[in-house]
C-alpha cells in the first residue's frame, strides 16, 4: 500500500525481462496484491538474484496469493519494427491493462517511466529488490519467458535456447556462426545479429 494525499491505494508492480536478448520475445509482468498478502510470500526478490528452482516455487505462491497478474508479450517481428524502447513500453502497457483495478499506484523497476500516460505511475531504481509487487512481477516475467525459450529449444535444439534464453553467450554465438539467423526468432536490428547475419551469408555464398 502507498499513500497519496491521505488516500490509501493499491500498488501495481511492473518489470520486464529480455531487453538485452538477441532472440525471443520481450516479456513484462504486472502484479498487485490485496491488502498485505505479499507478506505471506517469503523470499520475494529481484529474479536475477534467485535460482531457477526458487523462482518456479515463488511463481506458484504468487499465483495462489493473487489473481491480479498481467503478462505482456512483444515478439521479435514487432521489436524489429518499432525498436527496443517502444517494445518495452508496449510490453509493460499490455501487462498493466490486464489488471482490472482502479485507484492504483504503478511502480516500474528502473530509472525511466515507460507508462507516463498512467496516473500515479513512477519508476524506481532497483524496485525489484525492495517493492514486493515489483519483485513478484520480475519473477513472473522471468519464469514465463524462460519457460517459453525452453519450449522454443525443442524446435531449434542446435541453438541451446534453454540454457542462454536468447542472450549473446559463446554458445549462442557459435550457433549463429554455424547455423545462421532464424528470421522470426532473432532480433534482426540488433548490431550483433546484423554482424553474424552478414558473416553467415558471406561464408555460404
CA distance 87 to 76: 9
Query: 68 is written with which cell numbers?
Result: 491480479
Query: 169 is written with which cell numbers?
Result: 553467450
CA distance 10 to 22: 35
What's the pTM value of the predicted model, to 2 decimals? 0.92
CA distance 128 to 82: 26
Q: Across the 205 residues of the chain, what is the mean pLDDT of every consecutive 10-residue run?
A: 55 97 98 78 94 97 95 97 97 97 94 96 97 97 98 97 97 94 94 84 74
Query: 118 is written with which cell numbers?
Result: 498512467
Convert 123-144 to b/e letters by CB count within 10 Å (16 or more is b): bbeebbbebbbbbbbbbbbbbb
Q: Where are the domains of the chain?
A: 2-155
Residue 204's pLDDT is 78
Which fold would CATH assign to domain 2-155? Nucleotidyltransferase; domain 5 (3.30.420)
Q: Taking a C-beta distance cutoff of 8 angstroms, is the pair 175, 159 a contact?
A: yes
Amino acid at each position: 500500500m502507498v499513500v497519496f494525499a491521505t488516500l490509501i491505494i493499491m500498488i501495481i508492480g511492473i518489470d520486464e525481462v529480455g531487453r538485452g536478448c538477441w532472440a525471443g520475445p520481450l516479456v513484462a509482468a504486472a502484479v498487485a496484491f490485496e491488502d498485505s498478502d505479499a507478506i505471506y510470500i517469503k523470499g520475494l526478490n529481484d529474479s536475477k538474484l534467485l535460482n531457477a528452482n526458487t523462482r518456479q516455487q515463488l511463481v506458484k505462491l504468487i499465483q495462489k496469493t493473487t489473481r491480479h497478474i498481467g503478462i505482456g508479450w512483444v515478439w521479435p517481428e514487432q521489436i524489429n519494427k518499432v525498436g527496443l524502447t517502444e517494445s518495452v513500453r508496449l510490453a509493460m502497457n499490455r501487462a498493466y491493462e490486464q489488471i482490472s483495478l482502479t485507484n492504483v499506484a504503478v511502480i516500474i523497476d528502473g530509472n525511466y517511466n515507460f507508462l507516463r500516460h498512467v496516473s500515479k505511475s513512477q519508476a524506481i531504481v532497483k524496485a525489484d529488490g525492495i517493492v514486493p509487487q515489483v519483485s513478484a512481477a520480475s519473477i513472473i516475467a522471468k519464469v514465463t519467458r524462460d519457460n517459453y525459450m525452453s519450449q522454443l529449444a525443442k524446435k531449434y535444439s542446435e541453438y541451446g535456447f534453454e540454457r542462454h534464453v536468447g542472450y549473446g553467450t559463446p554458445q549462442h554465438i557459435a550457433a549463429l556462426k554455424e547455423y545462421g539467423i532464424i528470421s522470426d526468432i532473432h532480433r534482426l536490428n540488433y548490431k550483433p545479429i546484423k554482424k553474424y547475419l552478414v558473416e553467415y551469408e558471406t561464408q555460404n555464398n
